[in-house]
Amino acid sequence: WEAKLQLVQRHVRAFPDFPKKGILFRDICPILKDAAALKAVIDLFEEHVRNMYQHVDLIVGLDARGFLFGPLLAQRLGVGFVLVRKKGKLPGATVSVSYDLEYGKAEAEIQEDAVAPGQRVLLVDDLLATGGTLHAAAELMRKQQAEVLGCMVVIELKELNGIDKLKPHRVFSLLQY
Ligand code: HPA
């Protein structure tokens, strides 16, 4: 477990002042570029899920970088994958919720038939910052009467207190900064 975690950690870069001055941006692209590091992320996610949960119906991934890790985890677990997208990207009947961004508002959306009442789902994204998007995704699951077992991210930015915003949902992260 520790060796895999270190492998993942070595493949996260920090860029000062991106996308704006004062922000230290954690970049996960090197993880994806390295086959062993990407496999380590999915290994650790899989082990966590198998240790924590008896039964999972679906992995729900968040636009956009949740789409990089979510389907790989879903395949490992032998379950399906559902997309939470930014508004206007999904065809057919959809359900949406709006949430606050640093400046202005955004909307998260799923297809109405994406999850069924009572289904047990895990939310996956690359990084937890303020928790706004994951919170919106959890709200979509609540609207559709799916049960959120927890949230999984590669990186948690602790100073932004996203964990508190997501309560009572549990958040599992591989790396914390
Ligand atoms: N990295 C990637 N995405 C982000 C970050 C970051 O540091 N902060 C907020 N979103």
Per residue of the chain (177 residues), what is the pLDDT tens digit? Answer: 999 999 999 999 999 999 999 999 999 999 999 999 999 999 999 999 999 999 999 999 999 999 999 999 999 999 999 999 999 999 999 999 999 887 789 999 999 999 999 999 999 999 999 999 999 999 999 999 999 999 999 999 999 999 999 999 999 999 999
CATH of the domain at 80: 3.40.50.2020
- Give tens-digit pLDDT for 85-111: 999 999 999 999 999 887 789 999 999
Q: Is residue 105 assigned to a domain?
A: yes
Q: Is residue 75 assigned to a domain?
A: yes
Out of 11, 12, 23, mutate this one to test ligand 1's pocket (max ligand atoms within 8 Å of CB): namely: 23
Cα(7) to centroid of ligand 1, in Å?
Answer: 20
Predicted pLDDT of residue 156: 98
Output the DSSP codes for the chain. -HHHHHHHHTT-EEEET-SSTT-EEEE-HHHHH-HHHHHHHHHHHHHHHHHH-S---EEEEETTTHHHHHHHHHHHHT-EEEEEEETT-S-SSEEEEEEE-SSSEEEEEEETTSS-TT-EEEEEEEEESSSHHHHHHHHHHHHTT-EEEEEEEEEE-GGGTHHHHHTTS-EEEEEE-
Q: Is residue 107 assigned to a domain?
A: yes
What's the complex ipTM? Answer: 0.92
Closest residue (by CA) to atom 2 of ligand 1? 26
Q: Is residue 130 assigned to a domain?
A: yes
Q: Is the CB of 160 under 6 A from ligand 1?
A: no
Domain count, the chain: 1
Q: Is residue 36 assigned to a domain?
A: no
Q: Is residue 127 assigned to a domain?
A: yes
Q: Is residue 33 assigned to a domain?
A: no
Predicted pLDDT of residue 128: 97
Boundaries of domain holding 149: 54-176
Predicted pLDDT of residue 101: 83
Q: Is residue 17 assigned to a domain?
A: no
Q: Is the CB of 120 under 6 A from ligand 1?
A: no
